[in-house]
Amino acid sequence: MTQDYEICRGVWESKIPVEFVLESDEVLEQPKPFFAMLPRVSYFPLILPKVINYFTSTCEDLSLEQDKLWLKYSGQPIKMYYPIGVLFDMMKTDDLLPWTISLRTKDAPANSGNIGKDALESMFMQSLKEADYLRRKAEIISSMRSDDHKQLWRGIAQDNFDEFWSVNKKLVDSSEKVAHLPIRLYKIGFPMCQIPLSPSSSSSPSLLSDALHSLDSSLDLSTHSIISHGVEVPLDSTLSWLAQNVSYPDNFVHLVAVPK
């Protein structure tokens, strides 16, 4: 199954309006919020330098260190190692925009989810390797040059679709047999689910509905919708089509089960 270029490009270019509000006792007067349109496929640690620069230039004598900051929405810390789009689909329970996020400077909980850019890069590359291992036992990514790995990260860090996909297309090439498909399921209040999923069963393409039962047999599809990139995914979608067209840059399909 070949990729649909327009869908892949549209997934990459999808953005979320976000409002960052500084919560700090280091300033006498709260500064105006920072607004940004953030790519769903990106990560908060890649955006935070701009946010920090805004608040430190607005507030005199304010010093912010990224490794000591954490983000909060609706009383819950934001796990910054997840893609922004996944976090939005998981945490946002209303239709109000922009998404208002608090930037906190103190009292970070143990599960604050803070992570630096270097650690994020390592986690991102590890996810790419894991996805390739599921597909082809890591045959492709292990044969790539170091420059290719750097280009993949540079593409996501700089929001450059063409730079990223000129390398990533080798990892998702559908002309070779795929063993398993990289798919993850999220449900609020539960750990992320992931198991090896075959692209076909008994010579028929595997469907999303079958995969969901394997991922979480307790999931009631009459009371939950399956969301990816802010869109409800039809249950009769084939897993191969999803993997080719709506994967995030880490080459995993990230699905979120939300109550109807």
Q: Which of 246, 191, 229 is nearest to 83 (CA)?
A: 229
Alpha carbons 10 and 161: distance in angstroms, whole number: 10
pLDDT for the residue numbered 238: 96
CA distances from 124 to 201, 217, 229, 237 (A): 30, 29, 18, 26
Query: Quick one: tokens of 67?
Result: 């490794």
* Residue 248 parent element (H or E): none
Please give the domain boundaries of the chain with CATH numbers for all domains: 12-104 (3.10.20.620), 116-176 (1.10.246.190), 180-260 (3.10.20.90)
Splitting the chain (260 residues) into consecutive groups of 10 residues, what average pLDDT does each group show? 86 98 81 97 97 91 87 94 98 95 88 88 96 90 94 98 95 83 94 94 89 94 97 97 96 97
The total of other beta-carbon atoms located within 10 Å of residue 192's CB is: 13
pLDDT for the residue numbered 244: 94
* Residue 165 parent element (H or E): helix 161-168
Q: How far is CA 260 from the centre of its chain?
A: 22
Question: For residue 22, what are the β-bridge partners?
Answer: 103
pLDDT for the residue numbered 60: 80
Which residue type, as a one-letter code, is found at position 59? C
pLDDT for the residue numbered 12: 98
Alpha carbons 43 and 84: distance in angstroms, whole number: 5
pLDDT for the residue numbered 1: 57
Alpha carbons 226 and 232: distance in angstroms, whole number: 6
186 within 8 A of 90, measured Cβ to Cβ: yes
Query: Quick one: tokens of 182?
Result: 């990289």
Alpha carbons 116 and 49: distance in angstroms, whole number: 11
pLDDT for the residue numbered 174: 67
178 within 8 A of 199, measured Cβ to Cβ: yes
Which residue type, as a one-letter code, is found at position 2? T
Instruction: Say what the alpha-carbon torsion angle 250, 172, 15, 153 is, to the nearest 10 degrees.
Output: 50
* Residue 47 parent element (H or E): helix 44-58
Alpha carbons 116 and 250: distance in angstroms, whole number: 17
The position carrying tokens 């890069």 is 121
